[in-house]
Amino acid sequence: MSLNDIQLSPIIISALYKNSLVVISDDQLREAATEQSYKFLGGNKKNIVLIAQSSDAVFVSEEHLAFITKLLGACKINLEDAAIINNAHSKATIGELKKQLVPKVLIFFGVEPTTIKLPLHFPMFKMQEYDGCMYLYVPSLEELNHDNNEGRLLKSKLWVCLKNLFEL
């Protein structure tokens, strides 16, 4: 019999670990897992996190994903470099995001920065550096992805910010 096959009774285990054994319920395990693990789309290789709000899609709609892909391509990056989080399904907090995804750049698409418990408030299209990360708050994907004068104006403002952010 090898050491891997030895089975200890609960009484022996509790006697061995009487000062350090903690019993955690299944509900606590599920809660801890959901707090610390955000589902995201992309590879996050360059630690660029995009937070959107879309109640009718897992991450973002196909139309908005195509828009994001073009936007990232213009910045000479791709979806493997970024992570897209849908805040409608994963209520993100800055502390947990920093632990899991270690963002260097975080772009909010229509999601107020204070929603993720970021202790800053700053206007749209103004880059803000804080705690080793660059933040950018812009209008929602729905507002940006319109082919009208307002949509083009918002996209041009976003492009100016992205050129500065990614030094293009």
All domains of the chain in start order, with CATH: 39-165 (3.40.470.10)
CA-closest candidate to residue 42, choices 68, 80, 88, 85: 80
Cα–Cα distance for residue pair 92/35, rounded to 1 Å: 8
Amino acid letter at 143?
Answer: E
Could you report the per-residue pLDDT of 62-120, keeping only the tens digit for each?
A: 999 999 999 999 999 999 999 999 998 878 899 999 999 999 999 999 999 999 999 98
What global pTM score does this model have?
Answer: 0.77
Could you report the per-residue pLDDT of 26-57, keeping only the tens digit for each?
A: 554 444 444 447 889 999 999 999 999 988 88
Those residues whose C-beta lies under 8 Å from the C-beta of residue 57, and which sit 6 or more positions away, are: 64, 86
CA-closest candidate to residue 136, choices 149, 127, 145, 144: 127
Token pair belonging to 1: 């019999």
Cα–Cα distance for residue pair 49/73, rounded to 1 Å: 15
pLDDT at 137 over 90: yes
